[in-house]
Amino acid sequence: MPIFIYYSSITATTSLAKHQEYIFNRLDGKKIEYQLVDLAQDSKLKDEMRSKIGNPDAKIPQIFNGDHYCGGYEDFEQAVECEMIEKFLKLDSDQQKK
């Protein structure tokens, strides 16, 4: 299943931009393929993301493996620190990498 990252190409704060870039850089470094879902392109995507998570106040970035919710920035950062990105992303050994 593909990894989806809900994010925004238009960010109001530098911290949000840095959080998104952190995720992209770590995934690129591990050669893990992902698809970006840009909430700036369609406001309905925010509702879709929040519905999938089950949290009407969820903020971006949020990460999914297909329809399976993995977590947000803080969860991802913790997985990086623990060297458990693949487990966090629910990747199996047969899943494609770039």
Domain residues of the chain, as ranges?
3-88
Q: Is the pLDDT of residue 94 over 90?
A: no
| pLDDT at position 20 | 98
| pLDDT band, residue 97 (cuts 50/70/90) | very low
| pLDDT band, residue 21 (cuts 50/70/90) | very high
User: How far, in Å, CA of 10 to CA of 40, rounded?
Assistant: 6
Judge if pTM exceeds 0.85.
yes
Helix 73-81 crosses helix 14-29 at what angle (to 10 degrees)? Answer: 40
| pLDDT at position 93 | 56
Residue 11 neighbours by CB distance under 10 Å: 16
For the domain covering 3-88, report its CATH number.
3.40.30.10
